């Protein structure tokens, strides 16, 4: 049966049972025409069920751009187009119900359905966002994930399974979500074979790892992926608040460096290094010197810039020395430990500019030798 015959049959069945229905043969990509038909014949639109879809299953390697685009246009662009056209009417009347049909392929993936799974997942994100934006206007948006036989899935199930997975068994959930008594919005529900349930996303408790590197991630993988104390969040705001709370609760032992709290102490130490390097610059080139020091623990960054000399000659740049140093090396200096040129390597210490590495190391070690034990 072609889709036009199926459409007319649906209209006939609705009328037979005492309902009102009119056919519309436009593609869902032209959603404004579908909504125009509804407004012309019924005067308003209250509920949208974005159920149009196709499947063009192929392995990802064999999938063409056309296979991808057609599925995406039908599911995503079609749902967007119809909903977009109805949105002004929903806002004006202060009421609207939107239901998107998604798929378990969007949740779990399915071989040969990269296009279909991506499109159906997009509808979940779209629904969540419309639920947020529509809340002030009485507009609700939800997702239904059905497992049911249809023209798209009839070939996937055995005959005995088709009797259990009738599409009619999903209908009550869709009817309820479209009813004015239902106050749910921004949710994902699943239905099939007479079973109904809700799907939610959960996030593990996780772990705070200041200055983490790939090795730290690997070492703490069990804690990162442990779902024992997993949480569900209803909004991005809740996620961010929880994330910041976790960061604030990290103990002193978890954070070796509180850079901002030691700014004054660092300034005194860095000033000594900068003044020593200023004396080592080639004075025949320029009397101006720019010292920049960047201290990092992999995440937090503390930086300071110190200029020397005021008699800048036009067209002549100042001498420059830029040092990027890991906190571990700076800690050695504060403890009076001597460093060598071996520490000058990516991730530990980098020197750029007009001052030689030997002069930088010598100046830093002079400071280290003079440091008091309490520092």
Percent of the chain with pLDDT over 70: 85
pTM for this entry: 0.70
Dist. CA 216–CA 247, nearest whole Å: 17
- Please answer whether residues 186 and 237 qualify as being in contact, where contact means their C-beta atoms are separated by less than 8 angstroms: no
Q: What is the pLDDT of residues 116-160, one digit of tens each?
A: 999 999 999 999 999 999 999 999 999 999 998 776 666 666 666
- Please answer whether residues 207 and 223 qualify as being in contact, where contact means their C-beta atoms are separated by less than 8 angstroms: yes
Q: Which CATH architecture has domain 1-200?
A: 3-Layer(aba) Sandwich (3.40)
Q: What is the pLDDT of residues 299-315, one digit of tens each?
A: 667 778 888 876 555 55
Burial 263-294 (b: 16+ CB within 10 A, else e): eeebeebbebbbebbbebbeeeebbbbbbbbe
* 43 HSE (CA, 13 A, CB side): 1
Residue that is written with structure tokens 């002079």 in the block: 366
Q: Would you say residue 251 has pLDDT above 50?
A: no
pLDDT at 95: 98
Mean pLDDT of the region 34-52: 97
Strand 301-308 to 289-296 pairing: antiparallel
Q: Would you say residue 375 has pLDDT above 50?
A: no
DSSP string, 43-67: S---EEEE-------B-GGG--HHH
Residues 368, 370, 373, 375: what is their CA dihedral angle, to the nearest 10 degrees?
A: -70
Residue 314 has what DSSP assignment? T
Q: In what order do the strands lie in the sheet with 349-353?
A: 301-308, 289-296, 319-326, 349-353
| Most confident range, picked from 35-44, 289-298, 303-312 | 35-44
Length of the chain: 375
- Please answer whether residues 353 and 321 qualify as being in contact, where contact means their C-beta atoms are separated by less than 8 angstroms: yes
Q: Where in the chain is the domain with CATH 3.30.1050?
A: 263-371
DSSP string, 108-147: H--TTBHHHHHHHHHHHHHHHHHHHHHGGGTEEEEEEEE-
Which range, of 91-95, 139-143, 167-171, 351-355, averages the lowest pLDDT?
A: 351-355
pLDDT-derived band at 256, boundaries 50, 70, 90: very low
Q: Where in the chain is the domain with CATH 3.40.50.720?
A: 1-200
- Please answer whether residues 35 and 19 qualify as being in contact, where contact means their C-beta atoms are separated by less than 8 angstroms: no
Which range, of 150-164, 249-263, 314-328, averages the lowest pLDDT?
A: 249-263
Q: Which residue has the higher pLDDT, 212 or 133?
A: 133
Q: What is the pLDDT of residues 329-361, one digit of tens each?
A: 888 887 878 888 888 888 888 999 888 889 888
Dist. CA 70–CA 116, nearest whole Å: 10
Q: Would you say residue 260 has pLDDT above 80?
A: no
Strand 96-101 to 139-146 pairing: parallel
- Please answer whether residues 199 and 182 qualify as being in contact, where contact means their C-beta atoms are separated by less than 8 angstroms: no
pLDDT at 37: 97
Q: Which residue has the higher pLDDT, 94 or 354?
A: 94
Q: Is the dihedral of CA 130, 131, 135, 139 positive or negative?
A: positive
Matching CATH number, 263-371, of 3.30.1050, 3.30.70, 3.40.50, 3.30.1380: 3.30.1050
pLDDT-derived band at 282, boundaries 50, 70, 90: low
Instruction: List the alpha helices (DSSP H) in the chain.
Output: 3-16, 31-42, 65-72, 78-93, 104-108, 114-134, 159-164, 171-177, 214-219, 221-225, 236-248, 263-280, 327-334, 357-370
pLDDT-derived band at 38, boundaries 50, 70, 90: very high
What lies within 8 Å, CB to CB, of 328 at 6+ separation is: 348
Q: Which residue has the higher pLDDT, 263 or 28?
A: 28
Per the rule left: phi > 0, alpha: psi between -120 and 50, beta: everything else, 52 is: beta
Dist. CA 317–CA 147, nearest whole Å: 71
- Please answer whether residues 113 and 199 qualify as being in contact, where contact means their C-beta atoms are separated by less than 8 angstroms: no
Q: Which residue has the higher pLDDT, 211 or 276?
A: 276
Q: Would you say residue 161 has pLDDT above 80?
A: no
Dist. CA 169–CA 28, nearest whole Å: 25
DSSP string, 326-370: EHHHHHHHHTT----GGG-BTTTEEEEESS-HHHHHHHHHHHHHH
Q: Which residues participate in catalysis according to the annotation? A: 116
Q: Would you say residue 111 has pLDDT above 70?
A: yes
């Amino acid at each position: 049966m072609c889709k036009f015959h199926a459409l007319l049959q649906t209209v006939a069945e609705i009328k037979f049972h005492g309902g009102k229905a009119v056919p519309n043969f436009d593609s869902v990509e032209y959603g404004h025409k579908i909504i125009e038909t509804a407004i012309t014949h019924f005067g308003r639109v209250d509920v949208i069920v974005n159920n149009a879809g196709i499947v063009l299953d192929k392995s990802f390697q064999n999938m063409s751009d056309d296979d991808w685009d057609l599925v995406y246009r039908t599911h995503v662009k079609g749902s967007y187009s119809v909903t977009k056209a109805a949105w002004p009417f929903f806002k004006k009347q202060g009421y609207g119900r939107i239901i998107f049909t998604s798929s378990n392929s969007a949740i779990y993936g399915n071989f040969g359905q990269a296009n279909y799974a991506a499109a159906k997942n997009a509808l979940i994100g779209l629904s969540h966002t419309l639920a947020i934006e529509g809340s002030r206007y009485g507009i609700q948006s939800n997702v239904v994930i059905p497992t049911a036989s249809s023209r798209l899935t009839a070939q996937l199930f055995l005959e005995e399974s088709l009797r259990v997975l009738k599409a009619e068994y999903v209908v009550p959930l869709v009817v309820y979500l479209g009813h004015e008594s239902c106050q749910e919005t921004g949710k994902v529900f699943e239905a099939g074979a007479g079973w109904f349930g809700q799907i939610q996303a959960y996030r593990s408790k996780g772990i705070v790892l200041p200055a983490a590197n790939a090795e730290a991630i690997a070492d703490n993988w069990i804690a990162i992926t442990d779902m024992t104390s997993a949480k569900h969040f209803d909004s991005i705001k809740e996620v961010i608040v929880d994330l910041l709370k976790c960061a604030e609760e990290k103990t002193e032992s978890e954070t070796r460096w509180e850079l901002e709290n030691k700014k004054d102490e660092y300034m005194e130490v860095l000033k000594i290094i900068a003044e020593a390097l200023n004396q080592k610059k080639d004075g025949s080139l320029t009397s101006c010197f720019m010292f920049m020091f960047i201290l990092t623990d992999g995440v937090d960054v503390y930086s300071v810039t110190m200029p020397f000399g005021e008699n800048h000659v036009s067209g002549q740049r100042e001498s420059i020395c830029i040092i990027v140093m890991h906190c571990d090396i700076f800690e050695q200096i504060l403890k009076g430990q001597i460093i060598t040129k071996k520490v000058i390597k990516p991730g530990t210490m980098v020197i750029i500019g007009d001052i030689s590495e030997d002069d930088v190391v010598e100046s830093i070690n002079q400071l280290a030798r003079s440091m008091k034990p309490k520092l």
